[in-house]
Chains A and B, each alone.
Chain A
Amino acid sequence: RKEVEQDPGPFNVPEGATVAFNCTYSNSASQSFFWYRQDCRKEPKLLMSVYSSGNEDGRFTAQLNRASQYISLLIRDSKLSDSATYLCVVDNTGTASKLTFGTGTRLQVTL
């Protein structure tokens, strides 16, 4: 089983739609979880950390389910500028010195 597994997509959604991505991780001892965003041929950028209680940042909501070992990202009211690859990232070390990235889920928002 892959350490971090994501549906590669692409998810093609119209502007204004709500879209959700899931990610599963294999190591039950994983400590911290993040969503990064990567535009085509660009560097990853932190979108948000994922807390046990769930957290929201504007149109973005992240949830963690430790029992089932999955993380989700919900994007409401999608914008054209949300088109990117969303990377699920897990810290297995507890120090965040070595992050494990998923292969990413590609989102394409269309008019």
Chain B
Amino acid sequence: EPEVTQTPSHQVTQMGQEVILRCVPISNHLYFYWYRQILGQKVEFLVSFYNNEISEKSEIFDDQFSVERPDGSNFTLKIRSTKLEDSAMYFCASSEQERTGELFFGEGSRLTVL
């Protein structure tokens, strides 16, 4: 069964450092997303991406965040200068069609900012 893969599974970083989280979406999917989940809290939307541009972003997704699809397979989330409150599980997701709501999530990248 095709799946979304994410690396790293866990990253520990110092406050102020840059972090790049990587995702390989399912190959025939065209819509890509990043969500995050702070421990014990709900899953929160960060950004959606289609046709090499951001479709929608939340208020969480400020200037410190950026996304990129550097090649035909990878989809990355960069946090420029991490803060303590960025500590969370970051989930990448992809979908075949924008309107189905059927998102396939990766296993997540746990980010710990010290």
Contact = CB atoms under 8 A, between A and B. Distances in A.
A101 B101 contact: no
Given A43-B107, A97-B31, A91 B41 contact: no
Chain B binding site: helix, strand, loop or mixed by DSSP?
strand
Contacts, number: 64
Interface of B: 31, 33, 35, 41-45, 48, 50, 55-56, 58, 89, 91, 95, 98-108
Given A44-B91, A103-B42, A104-B42, A98 B58 contact: yes
Interface string A75-111: 0000000000001010101111111111110000000
A45 interface: yes
B91 A98 contact: no
Contacts of A46: 101-104
B56 A97 contact: yes
21 contacts: A34-B101, A42-B108, A43-B105, A46-B104, A49-B100, A49-B102, A87-B42, A87-B43, A91-B101, A93-B56, A96-B98, A96-B100, A97-B33, A97-B48, A97-B50, A97-B98, A98-B58, A99-B45, A100-B45, A101-B42, A102-B42
Interface of A: 32, 34, 38, 41-46, 49, 87, 89, 91, 93-104
Contacts of A99: 45, 101, 103
Contacts of B48: 97-98
A42 B108 CA distance: 8
